[in-house]
Amino acid sequence: MNSSFLRILNDPPLDGPTNMARDEALLEAVGRGAAPPTLRLYEWAAPTVSLGYFQKIDDFDALPPPAGRLYVVRRPTGGGAILHDRELTYALALPAAHPLLAGGPNALYALVHDAVIACLNACGAGAWRGCESDGSSAARGPFFCFARRHCFDVLVDRDKIAGSAQRRTRTALLQHGSIITGSRFDQQPTAVVPWNVKEITRRLRTDLVIALSDATGLDAQAGGWTVEELSRAEELLIKYAGSVWTRRT
């Protein structure tokens, strides 16, 4: 596959298991060379909590309502839980030998988050990269990712507005993350900017593609899922909708 080409997938809002299944299907397809480097942009059909790969389901079960009564899925990536509601989520899948990964995983965090910052600031957010970590991990730290701090997180004032996580296989890397466009749940602390949520989400879908294309030098082109990718996502849906994966200990 041409490493200078970036396929863009714009998905409609989908349920949690479908979103996670599509991310993993994308990682697999890029890893075996059946799909080019791809940026997927998506939303969530209903408020959903996603657990990081290593988090305990007991911590979710102990949450009071309303968050503790939401649908829950488990991500293929690590980090803290995220309450997905009013946000734009991205997933970037690259083959392991892609030039953008030559600087290591942190270089990709920095590149993508700097593009996110440029988009947010074009909308007047005043976003910046936090540049310091609080030492949180899967074994310690707040339950919600947006209460944690990583040196590459995107902040508005001192509050987090965007964060990402990665999964690396022998053949590919998936980085996905949340860009908050509004907040209705106080249990997940996030930056709140007085935007029109639908308008800012629509604008970010366009602006982020342009910003990442400029930052990476990749030729961004709108594309579509292949039949094979969607078939694999349907197979993986059984995993992400099932209790064995979600409630694993």
- For the 5-246 domain, the top CATH level (class) is alpha beta
pLDDT of residue 140: 72
Q: Could you give the C-alpha distances from 96 to 101, 109, 149, in angstroms and in order?
A: 7, 15, 27
Q: Provide block-wise average pLDDT over 10 residues at a time, the chain (249 residues).
A: 85 98 98 97 98 96 96 96 98 97 93 97 95 72 91 94 97 98 95 94 98 95 98 98 94
pLDDT of residue 203: 97
Cβ count near 4 (within 10 Å)? 12
**How far, in Å, CA of 249 to CA of 243, rounded?**
11
Options 119, 123, 145, 151, the catalytic residue: 145
Q: Which residues of 220-241 are buried (b: 16+ CB within 10 A; e: fewer)?
A: beebebeeebeebbeebbebbb
Instruction: Break the chain down into helix, strand, coil percent, rounded to 5.
Output: 35, 25, 40
pLDDT of residue 1: 56
pLDDT of residue 40: 98
Contact between 3 and 37 under an 8 Å Cβ cutoff? The reply is yes
User: Would you give the distance in Å from CA 192 to the centre of its chain?
Assistant: 18
Every domain of the chain and the residues it spans:
5-246
Say how many residues make up the chain.
Answer: 249
Our answer to whether residue 123 is catalytic in this structure is no
**How far, in Å, CA of 95 to CA of 86, rounded?**
30
**How far, in Å, CA of 122 to CA of 106, rounded?**
24
Gyration radius of the chain's alpha carbons: 17
The token duo for 14 is 């989908």
pLDDT of residue 138: 61
Please state the pTM of the whole predicted model.
0.95
Cβ count near 73 (within 10 Å)? 21
Q: Are strands 159-168 and 172-180 parallel, antiparallel or unpaired?
A: antiparallel
